[in-house]
Amino acid sequence: MALIRASTMGSGLTGTSDKAEGVTSFGLDRLSDKLFISFSALIFEKTGIFLKSEKKELLNSRLGKRLRACRINSFAEYYDYVTGAGKASELVHLIDSVSTNYTSFFREQAHFDFLVDQVMPELIGQRSAGKEEMVFWSSACSSGEEPYTLAMVLDDYFENNPGHRFSIIATDISTKVLGIANQGVYPTERVEKVPPKLLKKYFQKGTGAGEGFVKIKRSLQQHISFRHFNLMGDFPWNNAMDVIFCRNVMIYFNKETQAVLVEKFYRCLKPGGYLFIGHSESISGIKNQFIQVASTAYRK
Ligand SMILES: C[S@@+](CC[C@H](N)C(=O)[O-])C[C@H]1O[C@@H](n2cnc3c(N)ncnc32)[C@H](O)[C@@H]1O
């Protein structure tokens, strides 16, 4: 099996320091306040991610790595480089180096329980078998653990409730994590939270060079299409989704950005569709049309 390490733990702008990753700034200048503001504005414009001033040191070390990779010695030079004409490809690297990718299988298990116990019986009740595919969107899917968890839960559910089909669109702004998601290969310790029955059913154990890794089975992967997508852009879907997961990303956006996003999610859900957000997030301070059905679950 082809291997790529799922080294996404703690790779974003969370936490307070990058010292554990051994980052030093030798040979580089330091990020000035003025340039921090310029980079923050650029990152905000491109991703919606709002960096508070406390994140300056962290941005300094994250960008420092990228500067070294580009053999550039000053942040000012790197700013000109990344904003220069035809530098969209470098912008992808900038975004990769600042996005927060922490995720895990069965993260916030209560959402999956709610989905199976409440949402699925309701959605199934609304349609006749075989007529229409149910569409799920993992809208900030990181390295794939969230959409694969969703796929396992749904595939298992539909085995007991045959006659319906589903597909999952899984998107993220970071090409780095999407590469990992597409491969579907994870170190064994990353699947500790997967129930043994599902582990056996949906993963292949690596052997030889793949020892210590597991790979998602093709039969499960075929339900998911991974795509590069920026939540700040226009959504090409209208009344199209049954369920949207947007978990643990809105926390990095400011209120105005969250409000616009929540309205876009509302429009792209089918009537009666559901939105799940992360357990530390809330849309209650934002004007919206959703009906809250659980602490972090909303219905159109
Ligand atoms: C902390 S992870 C959350 C992953 C998963 N939803 C979960 O809850 O475990 C946040 C993800 O949001 C993505 N992200 C940040 N800004 C984004 C944007 N503007 N559009 C799409 N994805 C974005 C990051 O690349 C990252 O993979």
Residue after which a domain boundary falls, among 71, 98, 125: 98
261 and 221 share a domain? yes
Write down the residue that tokens 């990718």 correspond to. 101
Q: Are residues 86 and 120 in the same domain?
A: no
Give residue 178's pLDDT: 96
Q: What's the pLDDT at 3?
A: 38
CB atoms within 10 A of CB 189: 7
CATH number of the structural domain spanning residue 24: 1.10.155.10
Residues 82 and 225 in one domain: no
Instruction: Centre a 10 Å sphere on the Cβ of residue 264 and count the other Cβ atoms it contains.
Output: 17
Q: Are residues 92 and 202 in the same domain?
A: no
CA dist 103 and 274 (Å) reads 21
What's the token pair of residue 225?
């299409």
In the set 62, 107, 190, 247, the catalytic residue is 62
Residue 119 is classified by DSSP as I
Query: Residues lining ligand 1, judged by CB closer than 6 Å?
Result: 47-49, 99-103, 107, 140, 142, 146, 172-174, 177, 230-232, 247-249, 278
Residue closest via CA to ligand 1's atom 23 equals 173
The reported pTM is 0.90
Q: What is the mean pLDDT of each run of 10 residues along the chain (300 residues)?
A: 37 41 54 96 94 92 92 94 87 88 97 97 84 93 98 96 93 95 98 96 95 97 97 95 97 95 98 97 94 96
Q: What's the N-to-C CA distance of the chain in angstroms?
A: 42
Domain count, the chain: 2
Q: Residue 73: which domain range?
A: 19-98
Ligand 1 mean position, distance from CA 251 (Å): 10
**Contact residues for 156 (Cβ-Cβ < 8 A; gap 6+):** 198, 201
Query: Which residue, chain included where needed, has tokens 């849309």?
Result: 283
Query: Quick check: is 218 catalytic?
Result: no
Q: Is residue 175 part of a domain?
A: yes
Question: Which atom from ligand 1 is nearest to the alpha carbon of 138?
Answer: 6
Residue 260 lies in a domain: yes
Answer whether residue 7 is part of any domain: no
Instruction: Tell me the CATH number at 261.
Output: 3.40.50.150
